[in-house]
Structure 1
Amino acid sequence: MITMSLYSEKDLDIELLEEKIIEPVNKTNESKHIVFIHGFASNSSCWELFVEKNKNHYIHLINLPGHGSKEYKPYHLIFKFIIDLIKKYIISIYQNYGPIILVGHSYGGAISATVTHELKEINENIIEKTILLAPYSKYSILKVIDKIKLFQIKNSDDFMELQKMIFVNAEKTVYELEKYLYKKLSLEFFKKNSKNLKWVILGMSLPSTFYKIDKAFKTIGSSFYFLFGEKDKLIDNQKTIQRSTINNIQPYFSIYEDKGHAFFAEDKDRFFNEIENIINL
């Protein structure tokens, strides 16, 4: 069977990712380069809680296609293009700085797992560790499919309904995030990106996407670390854990009790300390 790609190598412009690098205050030979990949319907600002605490490592923040300020073509928003684009981006970091640590949340977790799997087939030294936060997979689709409409944010009421799916205590967490203008910036984000997000959802739902993600999960190794919120309403934690242990390799698992899908914002101190601990393992 002959297949044709919608894009070529020259289309993989890493400028689409709108990278921002935050240098550490305490630069040492032990400082790591950490790439953070946000989830669906979010952007790099979701990591501000970690960034403001970090003193020791180089932080690379990106906006996935469809989630930033660039003009995107439909093929920019399909899973395969995003994987190829981020692989090219990570290889460039590796060539300049050496091995990296990759952190991905939800859809960004699925991307991180897939990128790690495909890059290890090229050079197993590029990615030192992969930390997956409530990663999206085929087991998530049944929990997500009837909630897609919640991502069609048009007003404050819509916004709060989505927050109740993301956080266990939405009112408290949103209040704590207001110093980052969380609600205002979120409403602006959805207004600008509503059309893009529909294309991203399509790409997330294709059988070829789930095939790639599932293939990555079948090859999970000891360099993978899983963090979950106990009361996640969007991700099927138990099936993800079961799928990730089929090779009799027991990755690192951590459950945030009484926390939801975005547990890293609900328990930011524990999250920061845990990432530091994983880095030092």
Structure 2
Amino acid sequence: MVFIDTHCHLDFDEFKGDFQNYVYRATQLGVHGFVVPGITLEQSQALVGFKQHNQGVYIAFGLHPYFMVEHQDGDFEQLKSLAFEHREQLVAIGECGIDASIEDIEKQQTLFVEHIKLANELSLPLIVHHRQSHHLIMQAFKQVKPKWGGVIHAFSGSLQQAQAYIKLGFKLGVGGTITYERANKTKQALALVPLDSLVLETDAPSMPLAGYQGQINLPERLKAVFDCLVAIRSESESEIAKQVYSSSCSLFNI
């Protein structure tokens, strides 16, 4: 079985000490592709070199809502220019979205809409971050409809919310959330949606799986996420593996 981790931050400092070993251990478990999103202007710029030096890495540019205090006026315009310059190297626009735990929701909404427009201009999917903000994200999608879909990163929500995203051409990012017993609503939704609407992700080094709280998350744990997905789906293990890999490749044009 071959997998793609459709959302991991391999360029973060947590991995610098033993980077090659972390990647090797992931590949030993079948993880042969890593989508690394942008979070700030400076980090997005650095991703170009990071991709060149690391096989199997695919990159996206974006301004993450969690880092609103770091984003300066003019950062998005620079990011936009950077995205046009490196269009052939990008598989998506993001990480972008709306996070209700961060101040200045109105500014977040404006910035998110700009990301949607950019993705449409470049014919790229979106990598969308949400936190208690599904209603705000859907408002943005009504304001500017995404033309190339994308992935709702770390999806947690109801079946109705899942279906609304799928109707707009989005995949649902299946991550460590489903390894927790309490995530019944999300697991029920992910069990019932079409299989081709799901992709796998770790968000490493964040979002540790159940049993690994307090530790950095690792790309190798994508296999554990997959095992949890198999446990809640009706299809066979091989069918699920084949489909989530195919969906990841088609979504990001890998």
Report the TM-score range of the alignment, normalised by the length of the smaller protein. Answer: 0.3 to 0.5
Q: TM-score, normalising length from structure 2?
A: 0.40
Q: TM-score, normalising length from structure 1?
A: 0.37
Question: Considering only CA atoms, is the larger Rg found in Structure 1 or Structure 2?
Answer: 1
